Chains A and B, each alone.
Chain A
Amino acid sequence: MGIIKAKQLVHEYIRRDEDGNVESTSTALDHVDLDVQPGEFIAILGHNGSGKSTLAKHINALLAPTEGSLWVDGMDVSEEENVLPVRQTAGMVFQNPDNQIIASVVEEDVGFGPENIGIPTDEIWQRVEESLKAVGMLKYRHHSPNKLSGGQKQRVAIAGVMAMQPKCIVLDEPTAMLDPNGRKEVLRAARELNEKKGVTIILITHYMEEVVDADKVIVMDQGKVVMQGTPREIFSQVGKLKEYRLDVPQVTILADLLRQSGLNIPIGVLHREELVEAILKAAQIE
C-alpha cells in the first residue's frame, strides 16, 4: 500500500443558515481515488476551485472526509486518535509565507513543530540545524522572519515541517505569492528533499513549468481526478488540458504548433533543449 491512498473520497462544503438548516452544499471532492508511493514527487494541477487544496487539507487531517476514506501511511485520517500522528507523517506548507511563521526568530519557528510533539530539547536543536541546512537557510537562523524575502520565508516554512521528520510533505501552492527567483528557490529545496532524503512530495500548483520534472502529474477539475500520468503523457494532450482551463508550457505549445504545420516533432516536448534537438533533427531529415 502506498503512503497516501484515497478511495472514493468525497468532501462536501455545507452552508447552513442561522437555524442550522442546510442552505446549500457544494462538492469539492467527488469520488477521488489516489495512490502515492513512498519517495515519489507528485504534482497536482488544477484551476481555481478544482478541489486541489481541499484534497491537500485532507492529507493533513485538517478536514475530514464526508464519504469514502483516506489513509496516510496506513492510518485512517477519519479516526480521531490518528489526527496527530497523521499530521506528523504528512507535513504541510501553505501559500502565504507570512501567515504560517509563528515565532519571531527563524530557528525558533523551525523548532515549533518538534516542541509540539514533545521532542527533548537537545534533539530539537539538532533537528533545527539539520532542517535549516537542508533548505540552505542555516546562516539566517538568528534573523527575524520579517527581514527575509518571500522565497526565504517559504524555505523556512519547509524547514519547519522537515524538523518534524515527516515521510511526506504537501506543498499547497507554495509559490503563488513569490517572484520567479523565489519560486525557483522553493522548488529547488523541495526537489532536493525528495532526492536526498527520500521525502514524498506532493506539490499543488497551477504553474505548468513547475510540474515538468515531477514523477507523476494529476489533473483535477471540479473535484474529480480527470487526468493522471507522467508529465510527458499529460502534456501531449494539449487540447484536453485547454478544456480544463490549464495552460501548457510555452515550449510544448510551440512544439505542438510546429508539428501541426507539418514538422516531424514528437509529442509531449517539455524542455527547451529537447525542442531544439527535435527541430535540428527534423531539419536534417528534410
Chain B
Amino acid sequence: MLRDITLGQYYPADSVIHKLDPRVKLFATLIYIVSLFCFKGVAALAVATVFLFGVIKTSKVPFKFMVKGLKAIMILMIITALFNLFLTPGEPIFSFWVLKITKEGVSSAALMAIRLTYLILGTSIMTLTTTPNQLTDGLEKAMAPLAKIGIPVHAIAMMMSIALRFIPILVEETDKIMKAQMARGADFESGNLVKKVKSMIPLLVPLFVSAFRRADDLAMAMEARCYNGGSGRTKMKPLKYEKRDRGAYVLVSGYLVLILLCRTFLPWPM
C-alpha cells in the first residue's frame, strides 16, 4: 500500500507546456505569483484569469486533476476568508451579535479566496507538467551563477535527485521494518500521542541505520563510476532553449507588463 506513493504529481501528456524548458516554467511560476499579489482592479483580474485558463487548456491536464490539489487547502481557504469577512473594519452591511460584516470585508474575503485558488492552480501546473528530475535540472542550471560565490549548486541538485530516487526505497523499507517489529510484538497503533511517538523509536532507529548504510554503499558506487563532483561533467540530457522557450519568456513578460499597466491605469474598484 505504501509503495503506491508517487512523489510530485506529474501528469504525463503531450503538450507544449510539458515540453517547455523547466527554467522557463520556474520563471513563469515566479512571475505569476508576483502578479497575483500585486494586481488591482477587475481588469487585472480578468487578465490573470484568461492567462491562467489559457495555460491550463494548453497543458492538456484535465481540470478535474487540478481541482484535486485545491481540496487539500479548502479548510485553510475557508478560515482565511472568514477572518477577512468578519474582521475587516469598514462600512457595515450586516451585523449579528458581535459579528459584523463590512463591505470591505466582503471584497477582501473574495479577493483572498480568488488569489489562493489561482495560486494553487498556477503552481500545480508546474508540478503537473514537469518531472521531479527536470525540475532539479532546471534549478541547477538556473542557480548556476550562484556557484561563483561558493554555493555548491551541483551538489545540492545531485542530493535532491538522489533523495527523489530513494524515497520509494525507504518507504518500502519502512514498511518492512514495521512488519518485522510488529511480528516481534511492537504496537504502533494504540495509546495516546506520547505513547505513539515513543513507539516510533523501534521503527526509526533501524531505518536510520539502514539509510546510512545505503548512503555509504551509494557513495562508493558513485566513486567507482568516476564521479568526482560537478567539474568536467557532461550532460546526457542538456537543457537547451528552443524557439518555444523564448516565445514563452516573451509571453510571460508581456503578461506581467499588462498586469502592471492595469494596476496603474484601471485600479477600479479595488
Binding site for B on A (CB under 8 A): 60, 62, 84, 87-88, 91-92, 94, 96, 98-105, 107-108, 111-121, 124-125, 128, 145-146, 160-161, 164
Residues in B whose Cβ lies below 8 Å from that of A96: 214, 217
Chain B, 2-57, CB within 8 A of any chain A CB: none
Closest to A112 in B: B225
Closest 5 CB pairs of A and B: A100-B221, A111-B236, A99-B217, A113-B225, A116-B226
Binding site for A on B (CB under 8 A): 132-133, 161-162, 164-165, 168-169, 214, 217-218, 220-228, 232-238
Say yes or no: A164 contacts B234, CB within 8 Å. no
Q: How far is B233's CA from A88's CA once the two chains are assembled, in angstroms?
A: 14
Say yes or no: B161 contacts A104, CB within 8 Å. yes
Say yes or no: A108 contacts B234, CB within 8 Å. no
Residues in A whose Cβ lies below 8 Å from that of B236: 107-108, 111, 114-115, 121, 124-125, 128
Q: How far is B220's CA from A102's CA once the two chains are assembled, in angstroms?
A: 11
Residues in A whose Cβ lies below 8 Å from that of B133: 103-105, 108
Known contacts A99-B218, A121-B235, A124-B234; 13 further A-B pairs (Cβ under 8 A): A87-B223, A87-B226, A94-B220, A98-B169, A100-B217, A104-B164, A112-B225, A114-B234, A116-B226, A117-B226, A118-B232, A120-B234, A164-B225
Q: B90 to nearest A CB, angstroms?
A: 53
Q: A84 to nearest B CB, angstroms?
A: 6
Closest to A85 in B: B226
Residues in B whose Cβ lies below 8 Å from that of A60: 224
Closest to B164 in A: A104
Q: How far is B229's CA from A118's CA once the two chains are assembled, in angstroms?
A: 12
Given A103-B161, A105-B133, A146-B169, decide whether A94 and B221 contact each other with a Cβ distance below 8 A. yes
Q: A164 to nearest B CB, angstroms?
A: 7
Q: How far is B222's CA from A113's CA once the two chains are assembled, in angstroms?
A: 8
For B169, B221, B227, B236, which residue has the most chain A Cβ atoms within 10 angstroms? B236
Q: How far is B217's CA from A100's CA once the two chains are assembled, in angstroms?
A: 7
Closest to B221 in A: A100
For A117, A128, A161, which residue has the most chain B Cβ atoms within 10 angstroms? A117
Given A60-B224, A114-B236, decide whether A101 and B217 contact each other with a Cβ distance below 8 A. no
Q: A160 to nearest B CB, angstroms?
A: 7
Q: How far is B130's CA from A90's CA once the two chains are assembled, in angstroms?
A: 37
Q: How far is B162's CA from A128's CA once the two chains are assembled, in angstroms?
A: 20
Say yes or no: B221 contacts A118, CB within 8 Å. no
Residues in B whose Cβ lies below 8 Å from that of A92: 221, 224
Q: How far is B236's CA from A111's CA once the two chains are assembled, in angstroms?
A: 6
Q: A246 to nearest B CB, angstroms?
A: 26
Q: How far is B228's CA from A202's CA once the two chains are assembled, in angstroms?
A: 25
Say yes or no: A161 contacts B225, CB within 8 Å. yes
Q: B236 to nearest A CB, angstroms?
A: 4
Residues in A whose Cβ lies below 8 Å from that of B217: 94, 96, 99-100
Say yes or no: B223 contacts A102, CB within 8 Å. no
Say yes or no: A160 contacts B218, CB within 8 Å. no
Given A102-B165, A104-B164, A121-B236, decide whether A84 and B226 contact each other with a Cβ distance below 8 A. yes
Closest to A123 in B: B234
Say yes or no: B221 contacts A88, CB within 8 Å. no
Q: B214 to nearest A CB, angstroms?
A: 5
Say yes or no: A115 contacts B235, CB within 8 Å. yes
Q: A135 to nearest B CB, angstroms?
A: 16
Q: B181 to nearest A CB, angstroms?
A: 21
Say yes or no: A102 contacts B233, CB within 8 Å. no
Q: B225 to nearest A CB, angstroms?
A: 4
Q: How far is B182's CA from A106's CA once the two chains are assembled, in angstroms?
A: 35
Q: How far is B214's CA from A265's CA once the two chains are assembled, in angstroms?
A: 49
Say yes or no: B226 contacts A100, CB within 8 Å. no
Q: A69 to nearest B CB, angstroms?
A: 20
Given A99-B217, A102-B162, decide whether A62 and B168 contact each other with a Cβ distance below 8 A. no
Closest to B132 in A: A104
Q: B131 to nearest A CB, angstroms?
A: 9
Given A62-B224, A104-B165, A146-B169, decide whether A116 and B233 contact each other with a Cβ distance below 8 A. yes
Residues in A whose Cβ lies below 8 Å from that of B218: 99-100, 102
